Amino acid sequence: MLSTFDIGIDLGTANILVYSKNKGIVLNEPSVVVIDTVTKTIVAVGQEAKEMIGKTPEKIVAIRPLRDGVIADFDVTTDMLKHVMRKASKKAGFSIRKPNVVVCIPSGSTSVEQRAIHDAVRNAGAKKISLIEEPVAAAIGAGLPVDEPVANVVVDIGGGNTEVAIISFGGVVACHSIKIGGDRLDDDIIQHVRKEYNVLIGERTAENIKMEIGYALVDHEELFMDVRGRDLVTGLPKTIKLSSFEIRNALKEPLLHILEAVRATLEDCPAELSGDIVDRGVILTGGGSLMNGMEEWLSEEIFVPVQLAPEPLESVAVGTGKALQYISKLQAAMK
């Protein structure tokens, strides 16, 4: 049974979300920490920290302690989790007791990476910790019947990685994970603007470009966007006009890698479950799935119905929180 003190944490590369049984999503903040390198103290965490990226003096640095879905800086991750759990506890109304925590891990993560996540959550003040694979959590959060013997296909496009999994009867039947996600798309936009226009733009600007005029579909109505950056020749601010066609071309390579991962997973599917996939289709979750035309493009490429989860950004967090009712079956499937 779920108690009031059970929470689910989606420890994402781009965002960290906390789900509580009674309150739903109680916290959703960027996975960013700003640190004073002289005093070694935390200046800001979450949204406040993200707004400071690229705008801080030399001694104050913005750190993203998670890379590709795993911990890159253990101490900073622990400090960030302490802040997040304290804030979430107040919102969920159980600031006195230590919560039981279910936290998601990338499928295919090593035992060392899993131990790092487990220890960071424990050091942040959790009582009991359970781990669940990210695609399984995404499937539960999207409302799929993961405990039934039918094929549930999930494509979770996160900030650091993309995970494609076929889930049946509480376990992962076939799975492919690649270290390409929203961050790689942003980086490719930055490189394109630098190469074509000799203009340097920041991460937040690249993310805005991706959300405004980034398209997965090749055939779409052309959109334009004015972007400000720094001219690398003169060093002065400069405004340029970008087209959605050139951004689609810049994102061609990472999108093809995502498509290859989806195809490879479907090829690994047992014959008995293939019929289910044709009938039930594929569910998209994660922030990257919100790119314009992603559903249509993927559906055209794999000839299978593709649809967006009801709350793609929150699916993993909701599934992580709801996973406790399946946890014994899921952990048995992971072994």
Which range has the worst mean pLDDT, 58-67, 228-237, 253-262?
Answer: 58-67
Instruction: Report the Cα 221 to chain-centroid distance in Å.
Output: 28
Q: Would 219 be classed as within a structural domain?
A: yes
Look at strands 33-36 and 60-63 and give their pairing. antiparallel
The pLDDT of residue 3: 47
* Whether residue 200 is found in the same domain as residue 90: no
Residue 288 marked ligand-binding: yes
* Whether residue 26 is found in the same domain as residue 100: yes
* Whether residue 159 is found in the same domain as residue 188: no
Q: Is the pLDDT of residue 91 over 50?
A: yes
Between CA 189 and CA 183 the distance in angstroms is 10
Average pLDDT, integer, range 101-123? 90
Residue 91 marked ligand-binding: no
Between CA 39 and CA 49 the distance in angstroms is 17
The pLDDT of residue 330: 58
What band does 80 get if pLDDT is binned at 50, 70 and 90? very high
Q: Would 1 be classed as within a structural domain?
A: no
Domain count, the chain: 3
* Whether residue 155 is found in the same domain as residue 237: no
Residue 14 marked ligand-binding: yes
Average pLDDT, integer, range 267-279? 90
Look at strands 306-308 and 282-285 and give their pairing. parallel
User: Residue 152's domain spans which residues?
Assistant: 147-180+253-310
Q: Would 142 be classed as within a structural domain?
A: no
* Whether residue 233 is found in the same domain as residue 303: no
Residue 13 marked ligand-binding: yes
* Whether residue 175 is found in the same domain as residue 208: no
Between CA 8 and CA 322 the distance in angstroms is 8
Residue 111 marked ligand-binding: no
* Domain CATH for 55: 3.30.420.40
Identity of residue 312: P
pTM to 2 decimal places: 0.88
* Whether residue 28 is found in the same domain as residue 101: yes
